[in-house]
């Protein structure tokens, strides 16, 4: 029987009166630039006429201007029309960090829509397949000269509850070993000299020029460097993986990343050498644009092949999926085009029998955007977190579980939007990029920016 209403019953306590979604309008966009998380994280705050704020973020290490420049397309709009706004701004995104502005704004729009309608973001994406999200943390090769040291670092991850591991494996581990690499004579010395020139530049103007020279050198793609692994190099890397497995055992999944700019044939040789260590995947062995090379790689080894953190939009993933060139895709929400686009990418991958892992090296804002999206994708596998060793990372946001990652998993939040009640300005201010524009800097400059942007006539 239904309980009778008491005299004290007040139905208004169950009705949210602070948001009328149909009348919600974007009034302002602000940017704060955090550093050391461990990457640089340009945070976005979209402010509305009803006191509701939406949180987003530009991809790690990107310029906040990728988002700020979109202001003239957003002020006065209803943020709940997420897909309509996304289709207007998507032409201003691109691969890797260039996708960060469009994607970061899209995340903030979903956060607003969720808050306005009082539902968590995963529900807006179709509902969830799981209540908690498996996390892995990237483990780089710094300070780990051999596989035993790397294995010990990975073992510590397992002791903290992580059930999936990733490490670097490639040129960086063997660069100082004589005879491990082959390259046109003088090439490696030139790279070292360019790095030294940045360090020793006499002033900021000279440093900028030196950085551009270094960027040009590191921007040479794998097929064109002439850099190869020798037999000794292959032996060293095989031994490195064998040592890691001797410490962590055979059962826990182990993915590898950061091979270096070696040619396709070298990636195949390395993959074949380490097949017996049953890697979870080999990541970004070659630039993602080379679909035919990915096909050759995938057909030459039993190691699962993975790429995707630099691919923008579903159409960017389609050629690799249609070619059967990858076993795992690894999009970053803040490059792929945001939450709904990543859901579409995941569903497309599922049609081809490809698993979804996710790249994530940003703040809790992007992390929770990835958590909600991962929850809503059936073929989800594992989500990255780069910040488990940054003690203040969780404190950038208020109202979430602390710490976010517990025993290797993140619980999917049930609060409206991303599940973040507020941003912690005190912590953000303490970790601001000194070169950045300041705490919640204005983007007003971009409001009157005028351009005829249609892509056809």
Binding-site ranges for Mg ion (CB under 5 A): 257
The answer for residues whose C-beta is within 8 angstroms of residue 178's C-beta and 6 or more apart is none
Are 277 and 245 within 8 A, CB to CB? yes
Is there a contact between 285 and 274 (Cβ–Cβ < 8 Å)?
Answer: no
Nearest approach in angstroms of CB 310 to Mg ion is: 9
How far is Cα 15 from Cα 114, in angstroms, rounded to an integer? 15
The tokens for 126 are: 């179709």
Residue 413 CA, chain-centre distance (Å), reads: 19
**Three-state SS letters, 366-423:** HHHHHHHHHHCCCCEEEEECCCCCCCCHHHHEECCCCCCEECCEEECCCCCECCCCEE
At closest approach, how far in Å is the CB of 384 from Mg ion? 8
Taking the complex as a whole, the smallest distance from the CB of residue 431 to Mg ion amounts, in Å, to: 24
Shortest separation between residue 15's beta carbon and Mg ion, angstroms: 46
Q: Which of residues 29 and 280 has its CB atom nearest to Mg ion in the complex? A: 280
Tokens of 435: 């070169």
* Residue among 58 and 358 whose Cβ is closer to Mg ion: 358
Beta carbon of residue 306, minimum distance to Mg ion (angstroms, whole number): 9
- Residue 376 tokens read as 């809503």
Reduce the DSSP state of residue 97 to 3 states and report it.
helix
* Residue with smaller CB distance to Mg ion, 257 or 266: 257
Nearer to Mg ion (CB atom), residue 29 or residue 367: 367
360 touches 332 (CB < 8 A): yes
79 within 8 A of 112, measured Cβ to Cβ: yes
Residue of closest CB approach to Mg ion: 257
Nearer to Mg ion, 332 or 394 (CB): 332
Q: How far is the CB of 283 from Mg ion (least distance, A)?
A: 5
Nearer to Mg ion, 325 or 397 (CB): 325
């Amino acid at each position: 029987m239904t309980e009778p209403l008491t005299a004290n019953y007040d139905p208004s306590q169950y009705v949210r009166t602070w948001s009328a979604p149909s009348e919600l309008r974007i009034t302002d966009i602000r940017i704060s630039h955090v550093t050391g998380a461990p990457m640089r994280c340009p945070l976005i705050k979209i402010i509305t006429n009803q006191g509701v704020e939406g949180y987003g973020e530009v991809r790690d290490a990107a310029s906040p201007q990728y988002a700020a420049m979109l202001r003239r397309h957003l002020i006065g709009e209803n943020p709940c029309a997420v897909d309509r706004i996304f289709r207007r701004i998507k032409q201003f995104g691109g691969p890797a960090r260039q996708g960060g502005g469009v994607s970061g704004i899209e995340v903030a729009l979903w956060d607003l829509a969720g808050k306005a309608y009082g539902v968590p973001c995963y529900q807006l994406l179709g509902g969830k397949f799981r209540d908690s999200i498996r996390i892995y943390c990237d483990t780089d090769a710094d300070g780990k000269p051999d596989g035993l040291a790397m294995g010990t670092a990975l073992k510590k991850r397992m002791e903290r509850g992580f059930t999936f591991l990733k490490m670097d494996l490639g040129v960086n581990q063997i660069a100082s070993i004589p005879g491990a690499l082959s390259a046109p004579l003088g090439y490696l010395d030139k790279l070292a000299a360019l790095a030294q020139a940045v360090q020793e530049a006499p002033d900021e103007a000279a440093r900028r020029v030196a950085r551009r020279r270094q960027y040009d050198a590191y921007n040479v793609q794998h097929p064109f460097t002439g850099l190869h692994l020798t037999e000794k190099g292959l032996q060293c890397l095989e031994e490195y993986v064998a040592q890691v497995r001797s410490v962590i055992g055979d059962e826990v999944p182990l993915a590898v990343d950061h091979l270096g700019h070696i040619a396709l044939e070298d990636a195949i040789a390395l993959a074949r050498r380490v097949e017996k260590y049953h890697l979870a995947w080999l990541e970004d062995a070659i630039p993602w644009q080379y679909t035919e090379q990915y096909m050759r790689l995938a057909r030459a080894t039993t190691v699962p092949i993975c790429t995707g953190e630099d691919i923008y939009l579903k159409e960017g993933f389609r050629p690799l999926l249609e070619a059967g060139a990858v076993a795992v895709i690894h999009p970053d929400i803040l490059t792929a085009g945001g939450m709904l686009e990543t859901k579409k990418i995941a569903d497309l991958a599922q049609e081809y029998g490809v698993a979804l892992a996710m790249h994530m090296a940003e703040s809790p804002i992007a992390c929770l955007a990835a958590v909600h999206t991962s929850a809503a994708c059936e073929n989800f596998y594992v989500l990255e977190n780069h910040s488990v060793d940054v003690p203040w990372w969780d404190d950038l946001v208020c109202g979430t579980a602390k710490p976010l990652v517990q025993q290797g998993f993140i619980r999917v939040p049930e609060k409206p939007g991303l599940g973040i009640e507020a941003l912690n300005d005190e912590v953000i201010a303490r970790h601001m990029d000194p070169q950045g524009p300041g705490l919640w800097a204005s983007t007003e400059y971009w409001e009157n920016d005028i351009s005829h942007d249609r892509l056809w006539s």
